Structure 1
Amino acid sequence: MLHLFFKKLIKSPNMQFTRNLVTDPKYGFLKQLGLSTENPGLYDGRWGGTGKLIESISPTSGQVIAKVRESTPEEAANAISEAQKAWPQWASLPAPARGEIVRQIGDELRKNLKPLGQLVSLEMGKILPESIGEVQEYIDICDYAVGLSRMFAGGIFPSERKDHALLEKWNPLGVVGVISAFNFPVAVYGWNSAIAMVCGNTIIWKGAPSTPLISIATTKIISGVLEKNGIPGSVASLITGGADVGEALVSDKRVSLVSFTGSTKVGKEVGLKVQSRFGKCLLELGGNNALIVAQDANLEMAMRAAVFSCVGTTGQRCTTTRRLILHKSIKTEFLGKLKTAFKSILGRIGDPMEDSVLYGPLHSQQALDAFKKTIKTAEENGGTIEFGGKQIDRPGFYVEPTIISGLSPDAAIVQQETFAPIVYILEFDSVEEAIALNNNVEQGLSSSLFTNNIQNMFKWIGPLGSDCGIVNVNIGTSGAEIGGAFGGEKATGGGRESGSDSWKQYMRRSTVTINHGTDLPLAQGIKFE
C-alpha cells in the first residue's frame, strides 16, 4: 500500500479515488484528512510503495472506493530498518517529553474526530456514532498515556545484604510491530501505539488490507505531529499488504514485540513464529462470548444490553455476544422481546454514514459468505431460525440480525466464532450450569451475567466463575473502558492492551542490584572464602 519512509521522496502515484468520491461534496472530509484527490500520490515527501494495487471496497455499496498500492516485503524490511534507526533518538527523550508528543497526537485526533469517523463508516461500514466513538477511544488512550508517561515505574525492594539496593527497572523494547484488524481500524492501533510510544518504542503498523484509507489518514495525523516536533516519521511507520508483508514483520528479529489482533487460527501461527525467534507476542484473538440472564435479572436492562451486544457493529466486534444463555423460566418471554427488538432494528438499516442509521452492512463479501455458510450449517444440524437468517435485498453486504435456537451447546457451529450478527439461544436451570456453559468453548474473551443476587455475582467473578479476561455483571459483553486491561484467556491468546499495567508488555524488566558498600557478601548467607 503506502510505505512511510524516513528520508526518501517518492512521487509516483499510489492512490486513485473513484470519480464519485472526487466530485461528491458528501466526501469532502477526505481532503480534510489530507487524502487529496487532486494529488493523491504525494504525501509530504515520505509516501510511496511499489507493490500491487489493491481495491478499497465500500461495504455499503459493494463498489470500489479507491485503488491503493501495497508495500512489498522488501519495503517492510526497509521500514523496520528506519524505525530501528529512529529508536535511539525517541528512546532517549524523557518519558514525559514523549507523553507531550502523544498529547499533541490526541489533540490532532480531536480536530479530525468527525472526518476520521466518517472515513471509518465509509470504508469499514460501522455506523457513524460507533465510528466516531472508535476515534474517541484513540483520543482517550492518548490522554491515558500522557498521565502514564509520568507514572510507570519500577520498584525498590529490601535487600538481605548489607549496603545493597535491590531495584526493578523498566526500559523500552525497541521496535514494536502492530498488526490490526478491519473491525477496529483506528482504536486497536491507538491502544497499542499510544502506550508503546510513551514507553519509548518505535512502531511499525500493518493495518488491514481492506481498510487502507483509514490507515493512511491516521498515520498522516501522527506523522505530522512527529515532524512538527523534529522527530522522524519513522517512529510511527505504516506498511500494508497481505500474508507476505505480515510474514516479513512477524519473522524479523529486529521487531521485539508483535501485537496481533485477528483470528485464533492466524494468531496461533503468529505466536509460534515469533516465539521461535524468542520475540514477544501480544495476541488478541477470537471470542465466543456469552451473555447469561438469570431468573432474578432486571430483564429490561438485560434486553437493552443484549441487543447492542448482539447487533452492534453488525456483530463484528470481538466482544459481540455469540451465545445468549437464558434461565428456563424467562426464556420464552425474553426471546419474544428480543425478536421484537430485532424487528425494530430492521427499520433502522441504511448507509452507516447517516446519523439516523442504527445497523449497517457486513464489512466484505467474505463476511457475507461466512454468514450464509453458518446459517446453512446451523439448519442442517437441527437449528431453528427464530429471526432473520437472510441477506437483505439491497446493494452492499447487508444481512438480517439472526437468532438461532435448538442447537446443542457442544455443536461444532456453536463452538465456532462467526463474525456476523448471529446469536445462539441456550438455556439453564442453575447459575452453576450457566457458568459451565459459558466456559464450554475454547475462547475466553468477554462474558456477562445479569442478576440481582449478590451470591451469584461473586460466584461469577470468583475462581470457579467465568474463565474469560472480561467478566461483566449487569452490562453487556461489548463496550470495554480504556482504564482496564483488555484481552482474554485460552484461545483468545492471553494478551492485554489498554489500561491497568498493560504497559509492561511494551517494556523489558531488569532486576538491578547495587552494592554501595565495601564488602562483598553473597546472597542466602553463602560463604565462599
Structure 2
Amino acid sequence: MFAVKTFRPVQVQPRTMHLFNNKAYINGEWVSAKSNKVFEVTNPATGEVIGTAPDMDAADAQHAIDSASKAFATWQYTTAKRRSLYLRHWFDLMVKHHESLAKIVRLEAGKPVMEARHEITYGNSFVEFFSEETRRIQGAIIPSPVANKKILVEKQPIGVAGLITPWNFPHAMITRKAGAALAAGCTCVIKPAEDTPLTALALMLLAQQAGFPKGVVNVVTSSRGNAPGIGNLLCDSHLVAGISFTGSTQVGKLLYKRCSSRVKRLALELGGNAPFIVYKSADVDSAVKGAIAAKFRNSGQACIAPNRFFIHSDIYDSFVEKLINEIKALKMGSGEDLEVQIGPLINQAQFEKVSSLVQDAVSKGAKVLIGGKGAPQHGRLFYEPTLLTDIKDDMMVYTEEVFGPVVNIFRFDSEEESVAMANNTERGLAGYFYSQDVSQIFRVARKLEVGICGVNQDMLSTAEAPVGGVKESGLGREGSHQGIEEFTYLKYIALGNL
C-alpha cells in the first residue's frame, strides 16, 4: 500500500466559481438541509475537497415533492411551444457555460478534461433534442366503428417524476431524464449521486436563469447515508407519479419492489455485462480501436462498456497483440492535460471492487498480460488499464460487471459459440461485434439479447436513439422520442351522439 496524502481544498478559478453552489434547489429557492448538515465533495483524482452540499433527508425531499406537485397543477397546462422555449433557453445557457460545466464535471467526477467536455456536449444534446420534440408529442384520432362516435387519444403528463441519477455521467444522465420529463409536461425532483452533486446544482442555476417556474425542477442532495430514505420516499409518495433510475441492478430491483405497492410508473437503466465479439472477417485494426474507445471511456465506468471480449481463434493472437500495444499507449493522469485518457475510479469502494475482481480472477488461474494493479504514482484511486486471459466461469469477472478499466478476453471458434457465450448472462444492456460478413451481421444483430447493439461501431449513445436494456438491465427507454413515452400516459376520449 502507499501513504495517504493530506489534502487541502482546491482553488477553483473565478470563471468557474459562478456555477458552484453549496445549496440545494427547491421551489425556485437555494436552501440548506433542514438539519443544516452538509457533506464534502472531493476530487477523486487528487482527493482534495472541492466543495460541500446539503446533507438532506426525507423531510427535505418531502418539501421538494410538495413543491413539484403544486407546480404540476399549472405546468401540465403550459403549451408545448412554451415548454419548448424554456428547454431551448436552458440549452443555450448550457452551451454558453460549456467550459464551466466541464470543469465542474472534471473536478467532482475526476474525468480527463477532454472527456468532461465531451460529456457536456453530449448531455446538452438531450435538452436541445427534447426542446424540439416537445411540439411533436401527438395523440391520434381512431376511426370509429359507430357512425356517431369519435375516438380521440391524447398523451398527457404522468405528474411529478422522481429522477435518481448516477455519478458516472453527472450531467448527461440528468439532462436525458429531465429533458424528456419537462418536455412531456411533468415536474421533477432530482436526486443526484452523492459523489457528484455539484454538476446538478450548476444545472439548476442555469435552469433558474432559463426562467422555469418555481417548483418545476428541484434538486435534493444528500450523503450516502440519507440516500435510501429519500429513495424510499420517492417510491412511497402518492404525489410522485413515476421514478426514473440509472444505476446498479441491485438498487434497481429494490426500487422495482418498492414501487409495486403503488403500481408506479418506473423506468430503469441498470447494470450491463456487454459482450464485444470480433469475427474472423473483421477489420482487426478497427476492432482494436473500437475496443479501446468503448472499454476505457471514463476508465471503464460506463454501464454500456464492454466487459467480456470474445475473439475468433484465427485472429486471437493478432488482436491481443495490437490491443496490448494500444493499452500501453494510453496516458493516465489528472488535471487539464489534454493528452490524458485514463482518470481515476470514482471512490475507494469502486477501487476496492475492481481490485478484488482482478485478484479473484488471478487467484483462480487468470493471466495478467498488462496492468492488474493500482497506479498510486497518479493517485490512490487510479487503476492500471488491465488485460486478463484464461477466464473461467468460476471467476467473479465472468458474471459481474467490472465497472473499471479491465478487459477479459475469451477465445471462440464458431458463430454459434460466440452468441451462446455472449448471451450467457442475466444482463442485456449493450453488445458490440465486428464483422465484414453482411449475412453474419444481420444474423448476430438479431440473436444478441441486448437493448443496444453496436456493429463495427463503438459510439452508441446519441439523443436521437433509444437507450435501454432487456433481462435484468432494466425497463423502458431513454433518449429519442421513445424517451418521452416514459413520462406520458394515453387517455382515450370517446365522443358520442355526434
Structures share a fold, TM > 0.5?
Answer: yes
**How far apart are 1:333 and its partner, in Å?**
0.8
* Distance in 1 between residues matched to 2:398 and 2:24, nearest whole Å: 48
User: What amino acid maps onto 2:291 in structure 1?
Assistant: A
Matched, 1:118 2:120: no
**How far apart are 1:373 and its partner, in Å?**
0.7
Query: TM-score of the superposition, structure 1-length normalised?
Result: 0.88
* Distance in 2 between residues matched to 1:372 and 1:95, nearest whole Å: 50
**How far apart are 1:283 and its partner, in Å?**
0.3
Which position in structure 2 is the counterpart of 1:423?
407
* Distance in 2 between residues matched to 1:217 and 1:421, nearest whole Å: 29
Which position in structure 1 is the counterpart of 2:373?
390
Which position in structure 2 is the counterpart of 1:485?
466
**How far apart are 1:94 and its partner, in Å?**
0.5
> Is the 8 Å Cα contact of residues 388 and 402 (structure 1) preserved in structure 2?
yes
Matched, 1:341 2:323: no
Which position in structure 1 is the counterpart of 2:17?
31
Aligned with 1:353 (options 336, 358, 379): 336
* Distance in 2 between residues matched to 1:385 and 1:41, nearest whole Å: 46
Matched, 1:496 2:477: yes
* Distance in 2 between residues matched to 1:277 and 1:249, nearest whole Å: 11
User: What amino acid maps onto 1:392 in structure 2?
Assistant: A
Partner-residue secondary structure (3-state), 1:501:
helix
* Distance in 2 between residues matched to 1:158 and 1:90, nearest whole Å: 31
Matched, 1:46 2:30: yes
Partner-residue secondary structure (3-state), 1:497:
coil
Matched, 1:127 2:112: yes
* Distance in 1 between residues matched to 2:250 and 2:413, nearest whole Å: 34
Which position in structure 2 is the counterpart of 1:245?
230
**How far apart are 1:189 and its partner, in Å?**
0.9
Matched, 1:367 2:353: no
Number of matched pairs: 484
> Is the 8 Å Cα contact of residues 58 and 396 (structure 1) preserved in structure 2?
no
Which position in structure 2 is the counterpart of 1:510?
491
Which position in structure 2 is the counterpart of 1:468?
450
> Is the 8 Å Cα contact of residues 118 and 353 (structure 1) preserved in structure 2?
no
User: What amino acid maps onto 1:226 in structure 2?
Assistant: G
**How far apart are 1:359 and its partner, in Å?**
1.2
* Distance in 1 between residues matched to 2:335 and 2:386, nearest whole Å: 19
> Is the 8 Å Cα contact of residues 273 and 400 (structure 2) preserved in structure 1?
yes
> Cα 1:99–1:42, aligned 2, differ >3 Å: closer, same or farther?
closer
User: What amino acid maps onto 1:283 in structure 2?
Assistant: L
**How far apart are 1:352 and its partner, in Å?**
4.5
* Distance in 2 between residues matched to 1:352 and 1:480, nearest whole Å: 26
Query: TM-score of the superposition, structure 2-length normalised?
Result: 0.94
**How far apart are 1:507 and its partner, in Å?**
0.5
User: What amino acid maps onto 2:16 in structure 1?
Assistant: L
User: What amino acid maps onto 1:317 in structure 2?
Assistant: A
* Distance in 2 between residues matched to 1:308 and 1:409, nearest whole Å: 26
> Cα 1:371–1:34, aligned 2, differ >3 Å: closer, same or farther?
closer
**How far apart are 1:167 and its partner, in Å?**
2.1
Matched, 1:405 2:389: yes
Matched, 1:450 2:431: no
**How far apart are 1:49 and its partner, in Å?**
1.4
> Is the 8 Å Cα contact of residues 109 and 168 (structure 2) preserved in structure 1?
yes
> Cα 1:353–1:244, aligned 2, differ >3 Å: closer, same or farther?
farther
> Cα 1:415–1:20, aligned 2, differ >3 Å: closer, same or farther?
closer
**How far apart are 1:90 and its partner, in Å?**
1.0
Aligned with 2:196 (options 178, 189, 211): 211
Partner-residue secondary structure (3-state), 1:171:
strand
* Distance in 1 between residues matched to 2:327 and 2:20, nearest whole Å: 39
Matched, 1:103 2:91: no
Per-residue CA deviation, residues 335-377 of structure 1 (Å, 9 max, x unaligned), is 01111111111xx211153322111111111111111111111
Aligned with 1:314 (options 294, 299, 314): 299
Structure 1 stretch displaced more, 487-496 or 218-227: 218-227
| Structure 1 portions without partners, runs of 5+ | 1-17, 518-529
**How far apart are 1:515 and its partner, in Å?**
1.6
* Distance in 2 between residues matched to 1:428 and 1:331, nearest whole Å: 9
**How far apart are 1:482 and its partner, in Å?**
1.2
Matched, 1:289 2:271: no
Partner-residue secondary structure (3-state), 2:200:
helix
Partner-residue secondary structure (3-state), 1:291:
strand
* Distance in 2 between residues matched to 1:393 and 1:41, nearest whole Å: 34
Partner-residue secondary structure (3-state), 2:282:
coil
> Is the 8 Å Cα contact of residues 23 and 53 (structure 2) preserved in structure 1?
no
Per-residue CA deviation, residues 226-254 of structure 1 (Å, 9 max, x unaligned), is 25xxx21x100000222222222222121
User: What amino acid maps onto 1:422 in structure 2?
Assistant: V
1:166-177 to 2 correspondences below 5 Å:
166-177=151-162
Larger Rg computed on CA atoms: 1
> Is the 8 Å Cα contact of residues 122 and 353 (structure 1) preserved in structure 2?
no
* Distance in 2 between residues matched to 1:109 and 1:432, nearest whole Å: 47
* Distance in 2 between residues matched to 1:356 and 1:46, nearest whole Å: 38
* Distance in 1 between residues matched to 2:308 and 2:368, nearest whole Å: 14
Which position in structure 1 is the counterpart of 2:142?
157
* Distance in 2 between residues matched to 1:284 and 1:27, nearest whole Å: 35
Which position in structure 2 is the counterpart of 1:277?
262
- Percent of aligned pairs with the same amino acid: 27
> Is the 8 Å Cα contact of residues 409 and 426 (structure 1) preserved in structure 2?
no
**How far apart are 1:46 and its partner, in Å?**
2.9
Partner-residue secondary structure (3-state), 1:168:
strand
* Distance in 2 between residues matched to 1:192 and 1:142, nearest whole Å: 9
> Cα 1:316–1:352, aligned 2, differ >3 Å: closer, same or farther?
farther
**How far apart are 1:42 and its partner, in Å?**
10
Per-residue CA deviation, residues 129-165 of structure 1 (Å, 9 max, x unaligned), is 2212212123211221122111111112221112222
> Cα 1:289–1:327, aligned 2, differ >3 Å: closer, same or farther?
same
Aligned with 1:140 (options 121, 125, 130): 125
Per-residue CA deviation, residues 393-440 of structure 1 (Å, 9 max, x unaligned), is 222411101111111256443111121111210121112211111111
**How far apart are 1:178 and its partner, in Å?**
0.3
* Distance in 2 between residues matched to 1:299 and 1:42, nearest whole Å: 49
* Distance in 2 between residues matched to 1:503 and 1:298, nearest whole Å: 38
* Distance in 2 between residues matched to 1:55 and 1:47, nearest whole Å: 17
* Distance in 1 between residues matched to 2:394 and 2:471, nearest whole Å: 17
Q: What is the aligned-residue RMSD (CA, Å)? A: 1.8
Which position in structure 2 is the counterpart of 1:236?
217
* Distance in 2 between residues matched to 1:448 and 1:283, nearest whole Å: 21
Which position in structure 1 is the counterpart of 2:4?
none
User: What amino acid maps onto 1:474 in structure 2?
Assistant: N
Which position in structure 2 is the counterpart of 1:69?
54
> Is the 8 Å Cα contact of residues 468 and 488 (structure 1) preserved in structure 2?
yes
| Structure 2 portions without partners, runs of 5+ | 1-6
Structure 1 stretch displaced more, 496-505 or 332-341: 496-505
